[in-house]
Amino acid sequence: MTSGDTGRDAEIQLPVWKERKNETSEVKRARLLYESRKRGMLENCILLSLFAKKYLNTMTDAQMAQYDRLINEPSNDWDIYYWVTGAQEPPEEFNNEIMNLLQEFAKNRDMEQRLRQPDLEYLFKEAQ
């Protein structure tokens, strides 16, 4: 900053998202589950963690790649929220099968109570 700059106009440079190569499906699922739960805003923490609980274990590698890009490439969680809830049209690069599935999930047609993230216990039930 030069003298007189207040910092209000300073832009924070975020690293550009890069797809992870040579990641096994198991590792990718675990990472996406974590990243679905640890967001920048509570609304997305709840929405994405519940979505991941319902769909992540059955996603194909191609679907996981779409989901990975969707939740990690945009630098603003509010953009994701607005696209998923239909408040804004998603950009063409995110308008895909996973976005459609997530938008339908967000409509909550079964009127489930979605006030918090799911417990992690469900991850271990299949292993028992």
- How do residues 16-63 score in pLDDT, each as one tens digit? 778 888 999 999 999 999 999 999 899 999 999 999 999 999 999 999
Q: Please report, as a single letter, which amino acid is at residue 40.
A: G
Q: Half-sphere exposure (CA, 13 Å, Cβ side) for 102?
A: 31
Residue with tokens 């995110």: 94
Assign domain 25-111 one CATH number from 3.40.50.1820, 1.10.150.250, 3.40.50.720, 2.40.10.220.
1.10.150.250
Radius of gyration, CA atoms only, the chain? 17
Task: Give the pTM.
Answer: 0.81
Domain boundaries, the chain: 25-111
> Which residues have C-beta within 8 Å of that of residue 123, sequence separation ≥ 6?
33
